[in-house]
Amino acid sequence: MAEWMLLPEGVNKKVLHAGVGNVPEFTDNSKVEFHYRTLWIKDGKEQVLDDSKKKKQPFELLLGKKFKLEIWETLIKTMRVNEVASFACSPQHVSSYPAVAKSLRDMNKKNHHDHKHDDDNHCTHTCGFAAFSQGLGYPDLDELMKEPSGLTFQIELLKFTPDGDYKADVWSLSLDEKFKLLPKWKDEGNDYFKSGDYANASQMYSQAIGSLEQLMTREKPHTEEYIKLDHMKIPYLLNFAQCLIQQKDYYQAITHLTTVLEKDESNVKALYRRGKAYQSIYDFDDARKDYEYVKKLDGSLIKTVDKELLKIDYEEKLKDLEDKKKFKNAFSQLST
């Protein structure tokens, strides 16, 4: 069969369960989902190294994205959907497996503890892998690293999706693709915000901020392009902070708004929103400072700010009364 010609020397395939239809046209940027089981010979017996079914999470791979374990893409390209096949691979094809497996195991641990997937998000991957001079942290992988051997992959191809028939995950996009999507993410975030869906709005703004920070790593600090990208973060930081305020995460909001003011100390929106956040955590002195500065910068907001300053006076008196009452009760308990 023609697809067998795609297998390199040192790889033997055995079909365990026939798939359906023809072998798909595996073009770059098409997506495959599959389960894998990795076997090796240890102490004269075949043993399981990794099994994605135990994690209850199929692996997703975008073809043509230079995934570190290149042999997987080669193997997949010989398969039909729903096919289960065993591939015995000689050592030269699987030398990167220990590092890849470490990364996948680490991500699975993180997902298990967080009960959610991570940004770049999913246990799906264009993982970068460093050299591990002090070991990988997994005894079996350390042993495989020290004494390389052939591995057998049992793969079940669950799904094939052609390029263009799926919404690309953010992690899979190039930096240039992310840059082009920034206005779209802002619009989507604004729509979510208007509907009261602050969690999804936050996600849109957050991924925009993260993408801009990635783009900044390509530029030398303090250059014109670096500064331009840094200032592009401001509207997303402002909107993200507003989402945090709506979700009563005032301290985080203050952190992001302070970041904006470090870039633009006269940013009225950042000052006003930070004043609101300070007010919400009873930091009345800092709230007053921000509000007073807003009045100096934008005369059209004087009435609005004066109303907030009156609220602060009232809230501060209530807080003082509550504190005195708590102190009095605590003192009475100590006296009895």
CATH code assigned at 127: 3.10.50.40
Of the residues 161, 195, 227, which one is the last residue of a structural domain? 161
247 with 212, same domain?
yes
User: How far is the CA of 55 from the CAs of 59, 112, 151, 156, 186, in angstroms?
Assistant: 10, 9, 20, 15, 35
Count of residues making up the chain: 336
Contact call for residues 273 and 245 (beta carbons, < 8 A): yes
Domain termination residue (choose one: 142, 161, 180):
161
What pLDDT score does 167 carry? Answer: 58
Q: Tell me how far apart the alpha carbons of residues 203 and 187 are, in angstroms, rounded to a whole number.
A: 12
Beta strands 11-17 and 31-42 are unpaired
Give the total number of structural domains in the chain: 2
User: What is the per-residue pLDDT for 178?
Assistant: 86
Are residues 191 and 316 both part of a single domain?
Answer: yes
Beta bridge partners of 20: 81
- The helix (run of H) or strand (run of E) holding residue 15 is strand 11-17
Which of 258, 268, 253 lies closest to 304, judged by CA? 268
Contact status, residue 3 vs residue 23, Cβ threshold 8 Å:
yes
Residue 334 lies in a domain: no
Residue 168 CA, distance from chain mean position: 14
Query: Among 161, 192, 214, where does a domain finish?
Result: 161
C-beta separation of 100 from 115 below 8 A: no
- pTM value? 0.53
Could you tell me if 107 and 193 lie in one domain?
A: no
One domain for residues 10 and 155: yes
pLDDT at 122: 38
Tally of CB atoms within 10 A around 10:
14
Same domain membership, residue 201 and residue 285: yes
CA distance 40 to 44: 10
Per-residue pLDDT of the chain (336 residues; tens, 9 = 90+): 444 457 999 999 999 999 999 999 999 888 899 999 999 998 889 999 999 998 888 998 888 888 889 999 999 999 999 999 999 999 999 999 999 999 888 877 755 544 333 333 333 333 433 344 457 889 999 999 999 999 999 999 999 998 765 555 666 567 788 889 899 999 999 999 999 999 999 999 999 999 999 899 889 989 999 999 999 999 999 999 999 999 999 999 999 999 999 999 999 999 999 999 999 999 999 999 999 999 999 999 999 999 999 999 999 998 878 777 776 666 566 555
Residue 329, domain member (yes or no): no
Per-residue model confidence (pLDDT) at position 108? 76
Other CB atoms within 10 Å distance of the CB of residue 315: 16
Half-sphere exposure of 199 (CA within 13 A, CB side): 0
What pLDDT is attached to residue 248? Answer: 95
Range of the domain at 146: 2-161
Instruction: Tell me if residue 35 falls in helix, strand or coil.
Output: strand
User: Residue 306: CB partners within 8 Å, gap ≥ 6?
Assistant: 295
Quick one: CA dihedral 28, 29, 31, 32, positive or negative?
Answer: positive
Residues sharing a CB contact under 8 Å with residue 273, sequence separation 6 or more, in sequence order: 238, 241, 242, 245, 253, 257
Distances (CA, A) of 88 to 40, 69, 78, 85, 169: 10, 15, 14, 10, 31
Residues 214 and 120 in one domain: no
Residues 145 and 195 occupy one common structural domain? no
Asked if residue 145 and residue 257 are part of one domain, the reply reads: no
